[in-house]
Amino acid sequence: MAAEMALVKPISKFSSITKPKFGDARAPTCSLRPRVFTIKMSATSEQATTAKKPRKKVNKTAIKETLLTPRFYTTDFDEMETLFNTEINKNLNQDEFVALLQEFKTDYNQTHFVRNKEFKEAADKMEGPLRQIFVEFLERSCTAEFSGFLLYKELGRRLKKTNPVVAEIFSLMSRDEARHAGFLNKGLSDFNLALDLGFLTKARKYTFFKPKFIFYATYLSEKIGYWRYITIYRHLKANPEYQCYPIFKYFENWCQDENRHGDFFSALMKAQPQFLNDWKAKLWSRFFCLSVYVTMYLNDCQRTAFYEGIGLNTKEFDMHVIIETNRTTARIFPAVLDVENPEFKRRLDRMVEINEKLVAVGETQDIGLVKNLKRIPLIAALASELLATYLIPPVESGSVDIAEFETQLVY
Ligand SMILES: [Fe+2]
Ligand SMILES: [Fe+2]
| Of 147, 310, 305, 327, residue with least CA distance to 233 | 310
The alpha carbon of 212 and the centre of ligand 1 are apart by a number of angstroms equal to 18
Q: Quick one: what percent of the chain has pLDDT higher than 90?
A: 66
| Of 7, 19, 153, 167, residue with least CA distance to 101 | 167
Ligand nearest to the CA of 253: 2
The alpha carbon of 283 and the centre of ligand 2 are apart by a number of angstroms equal to 28
Ligand nearest to the CA of 146: 2
* pLDDT grade for 379, boundaries at 50, 70 and 90: very high
Query: Which of 261-274 are b and which e, b meaning 16 or more Cβ less than 10 Å from the residue's Cβ?
Result: bbbbbbbbbbbbee
The alpha carbon of 226 and the centre of ligand 1 are apart by a number of angstroms equal to 8
What CA–CA distance (Å, rounded) separates 397 from 326? 10
Q: Which residues contact 114 (CB under 8 A, 6 or more apart)?
A: none
The alpha carbon of 405 and the centre of ligand 1 are apart by a number of angstroms equal to 20
The alpha carbon of 145 and the centre of ligand 2 are apart by a number of angstroms equal to 5
What CA–CA distance (Å, rounded) separates 318 from 213? 23
Encode pLDDT of 137-165 as tens digits.
Answer: 899 999 999 999 999 999 999 999 999 99
Neighbours of ion ligand 2 (CB under 5 A): 2, 145, 177, 180
Q: What single-letter amino acid sits at 130?
A: L
Rounded average pLDDT over 367-384: 95
The backbone region for 205, taken as left when phi is positive above 0, alpha when psi lies in -120 to 50, beta otherwise, is beta
Ligand nearest to the CA of 151: 1
What CA–CA distance (Å, rounded) separates 146 from 23? 31
The backbone region for 79, taken as left when phi is positive above 0, alpha when psi lies in -120 to 50, beta otherwise, is alpha
* pLDDT grade for 403, boundaries at 50, 70 and 90: very low
Residue 53 pLDDT: 42
* pLDDT grade for 134, boundaries at 50, 70 and 90: confident
The alpha carbon of 146 and the centre of ligand 1 are apart by a number of angstroms equal to 10
Ligand nearest to the CA of 173: 1
Ligand nearest to the CA of 258: 1
Is pLDDT at 9 greater than 80 in this prediction? no
Ligand nearest to the CA of 260: 1
| Of 150, 140, 263, residue with least CA distance to 207 | 150
Residue 98 pLDDT: 95
Is pLDDT at 21 greater than 50 in this prediction? no
Encode pLDDT of 166-184 as tens digits.
Answer: 999 999 999 999 999 999 9
Q: What pTM does this model have?
A: 0.82
> Would you mind telling me the total number of residues written for the chain in this entry?
411
What CA–CA distance (Å, rounded) separates 274 from 50? 52
DSSP SS3 for 237: helix
**Which has the higher per-residue pLDDT, 411 or 369?**
369
* pLDDT grade for 49, boundaries at 50, 70 and 90: very low
The alpha carbon of 147 and the centre of ligand 1 are apart by a number of angstroms equal to 10
Ligand nearest to the CA of 104: 1
The alpha carbon of 376 and the centre of ligand 2 are apart by a number of angstroms equal to 37
Rounded average pLDDT over 301-328: 94
Q: How far is CA 10 from CA 14, 255, 303, 358, 387, in A?
A: 10, 25, 5, 16, 28
| Element (DSSP H or E) covering residue 384 | helix 368-390
Q: Which residues contact 90 (CB under 8 A, 6 or more apart)?
A: none
The alpha carbon of 329 and the centre of ligand 1 are apart by a number of angstroms equal to 16
Mean pLDDT taken over the chain: 82
